[in-house]
Structure 1
Amino acid sequence: MPEIPLMPVHWRFPAHPTSVWRARYAVAESLPYVLRPHLGDDLGLLTSELVTNAIRHGACREDDDLIELVLWPADGHYWLAVSDPGAGKPALAHPDTESESGRGLILVDSLATAWTVRPRPTRGTSVIAGLSFRQDG
């Protein structure tokens, strides 16, 4: 009999800065306990960066926009999709040493095994990043 996979976990948060720590906490708490030492810090950092970018660049707070997150395991990875209603396509920046921002996707690129940007079928954009994991025993 095949092993039944875990269900994806889905959250919606307001496009507000306080949602960054709420999203990071929710993602960390949803990881299986045995994977937290291996994935917890990196997945938390990915969550913080992607949610911050979605709030800053993809949402209009006056419209009560929501940031959506989906977390799921597949093919030896934990995948995180962070979606916002914006039409822009996030891209790696090349900030100079004086810049105070623009390094979020550089960090995502260095942490994630793979990542991509996808348009959503109805409205908005999703950034999807995966971290590989090894589960012992």
Structure 2
Amino acid sequence: MPEIPLVPVHWHFPAHPASVRRARHAVAESLPHVLRPRLGDDLGLLTSELVTNAIRHGVCREDEDLIELVLWPADGHYWLAVSDPGTGKPVLAHPDADSESGRGLLLVDRLATAWTVRPRPTRGTSVIAGLSFRQGA
């Protein structure tokens, strides 16, 4: 019989800056206690960066739009998908030393074992990032 996977954890947050902290806390609390020392800080940072980007670049009106988060374990990774209703596709940039922003996806690229950007079937964009929790990875 195949192993039955865990049900993904799913949240919706308003597209408001206060949601960044709430999302980070929700993700941290959902991580199994045994994995928190190993993944907690990096997963929290990924959550902060991706939710911040979704709020800044993926919504039209913060009073109407929601940011969606999904967290699930699969194939030795914890996967985080952050989705927004925007149509733009996030792009990895290389800002110069004087730039005050534009480094969020660079951070995601350095932290995540793998990450990608996918259009949503109905409306919007999802950024999906994974962190390995296998021994030795």
Match of 2:80? 80
C-alpha distance 132-62 of structure 1, shift in aligned 2 (>3 A): closer
Q: Per-residue deviation at 1:63?
A: 5.0
Q: Per-residue deviation at 1:117?
A: 0.2
Q: Aligned runs of 1:21-36 on 2, under 5 Å?
A: 21-36=21-36
Q: Per-residue deviation at 1:5?
A: 1.8
Q: TM-score by structure 1 length?
A: 0.95
Equivalent position SS for 2:127: strand
Equivalent position SS for 1:131: strand
Task: Report the AA paired with residue 26 of structure 2.
Answer: A
Match of 2:124? 124
Q: Distance in 2 between matches of 1:62 and 1:117?
A: 22
Instruction: Tell me if the contact between 1:16 and 1:61 (Cα under 8 Å) persists in the aligned partners.
Output: no
Q: Aligned runs of 1:39-54 on 2, under 5 Å?
A: 39-54=39-54
Identity among equivalent positions (%) equals: 89
Task: Calculate the aligned-residue CA RMSD, in Å.
Answer: 1.4
Task: Report the AA paired with residue 19 of structure 1.
Answer: S
Q: Distance in 1 between matches of 2:116 and 2:62?
A: 28
Unmatched runs of 5 consecutive residues or more in structure 1: none
Q: Distance in 1 between matches of 2:32 and 2:86?
A: 32
Q: Aligned runs of 1:1-137 on 2, under 5 Å?
A: 1-62=1-62, 64-134=64-134
Structure 1 stretches of 4+ moved >4 Å: none
Q: Distance in 1 between matches of 2:40 and 2:134?
A: 13
